[in-house]
Structure 1
Amino acid sequence: MYQPACDMHKSFDSLCGLIRQELGCDPCNGSVYVFLNRRRTHMKLLHWETGGFVLYYKRLEQGCFQLPHQRNAESILQWSEWVLMAEGIVVKKQIQKPRYNLQAS
């Protein structure tokens, strides 16, 4: 997640530049990168899929996006955290129940 406020006029190339320069990541690594404007009323998601980038844009008509609890500038959001943030659900106490992980076996 790119924490500083982002200019929502930026498109594919500009957002890729932010990912490379500010986050030190490769935008083609398969991650989904989240950008918010200063008021947190607009959100852009940039994702690399086979053959090219996909850019999603959501604008709230009321309210603002709340960052998940205890997140800093370079936080990596889990899919479930992003869904809650996008839907406007604020979790006061979060408990992650253990789940089977094939890679950890």
Structure 2
Amino acid sequence: MLGLGTEHTYYYYLNSVDMRKGFNGLSGIVKEHMDQNQNTNVVYAFINKKKDKLKLLHWRVGGFVLYYKRLEKGIFELPEYNIEEGL
């Protein structure tokens, strides 16, 4: 069932997310704020304010798969992103 790799495109939602959100809440963010629709080769990443919880939303044939990671110590190191340059 786990099938994430280099053949996927990954999108990171820049704002922090309430980790109580599930399939419907996160897919709503994808549709409304990220201007995206479900696509088999796309994975959407969401992180909480403290940066110690991460959810990945992945569309598979027949429905969404939701991956959830909670760090016991430390925080996730996020990639640098320059909004003006798109890098």
Alignment CA distance shift 1:72-1:65 (3 Å): farther
What CA distance in whole angstroms lies between the structure 2 residues aligned with 1:58 and 1:22? 23
RMSD of equivalent CA atoms? 1.2
Match of residue 65 from structure 1: 76
How many residues are paired up?
A: 71
Match of residue 9 from structure 2: none
Which SS does the other structure have where 1:20 is aligned? helix
Match of residue 21 from structure 2: 10
C-alpha displacement of 1:29: 1.2
Match of residue 48 from structure 2: 37
Identity among equivalent positions (%) equals 46
Alignment CA distance shift 1:72-1:22 (3 Å): farther
What CA distance in whole angstroms lies between the structure 2 residues aligned with 1:41 and 1:54? 20
What CA distance in whole angstroms lies between the structure 2 residues aligned with 1:72 and 1:49? 30
Determine which structure has the larger helix proportion and give its number: 1
Q: What TM-score, normalized to structure 1? A: 0.64
What CA distance in whole angstroms lies between the structure 1 residues aligned with 2:82 and 2:43? 17
Task: Give the counterpart of 1:21 among 6, 12, 32.
Answer: 32
Q: Which protein has the larger Cα radius of gyration, Structure 1 or Structure 2?
A: 1
Task: Give the counterpart of 2:66 among 37, 55, 59.
Answer: 55
1:3/1:72 contact within 8 Å kept: no
The answer for unaligned runs of 5 or more in structure 2 is 1-11
